[in-house]
Amino acid sequence: MARREDRLKQLAEDLTRAHGVEARVIALDLGAPDAAAELKRRTDGQGLEIDLLVNNAGFGLYGRHMEIAWEREREMLELDVVALADLTKRYLAGMLERDRGWVLQVASIGGYQPSPSYASYSAAKAYVLNLGEALNYELRKTNVHVTVLSPGVTKSEFLDVSGQKPALYHRLTMMPARKVTRAGLRAVLRGRPSVIPGFANKVAAFSLRFMPRRLQAAAADVMMNVGMA
């Protein structure tokens, strides 16, 4: 499910050809008002019971906070926070009725610290991280599991959309999307509360526990901006 229907249809054809599965396409802008309700209506209308929900839709915005237009920032927050929370609540209801299901929330290691140049984005991902881990605990006595995937730099269109040129940190730690996806799916099927793919990313997130928060912001600023190509 995404906005770019042509890419979705091509992916559906590739999946069917390679694995013999049925793949259905729903083109929808999840950042639009009531998009989550519309998606639920469409999947219900097709008689689909959603056992695995992957909340991966989102984007970031690079730049100093006061230089980013509010209209664009609001679009980001509507997609990264509001749509994710809405979809989670709507589809969790059915999973709990069936006492079976998995939800994978895609956050970011940016959610572990304040990140100048990505101030609102990292704050949004902190919401995703805390929401997901809290839900995992709340649902611990059920057969429904919520897991948070917090990747670092992943090979995708993220930087192009955010408006940033790759920094040295990005070039040194970038992971293939397939590897990140596998880590997330393994974790959610095992019922883990959260997972950080990649050794360097794990070390970076763990080291924050020993760093004062004011220094965390300074460290993030250096990593995001030093050595941009």
Percent of the chain with pLDDT over 70: 97
Q: Average the pLDDT over 78-107 and give the result.
A: 98
DSSP code at position 99: T
Report whether pLDDT(171) > 70.
Answer: yes
Q: Which of 128, 122, 120, 106 is nearest to 219 (CA)?
A: 122
Under 8 Å CB-to-CB from 130, ≥6 apart: which residues? Answer: none
Distances 4 to 67, 143, 203, 214 between C-alpha atoms, Å: 29, 33, 36, 40
Domain 33-225 has CATH 3.40.50.720: yes
Rounded CA separation 162/9 (Å)? 26
pLDDT of 229 reads 62
Write down the pTM of the prediction.
0.92
- The domain segmentation of the chain, as residue ranges, is 1-30, 33-225
Q: Average the pLDDT over 67-71 and give the result.
A: 97
Q: Average the pLDDT over 160-168 and give the result.
A: 92
Q: Which of 223, 120, 221, 218 is nearest to 166 (CA)?
A: 223
Q: Average the pLDDT over 173-189 and give the result.
A: 96
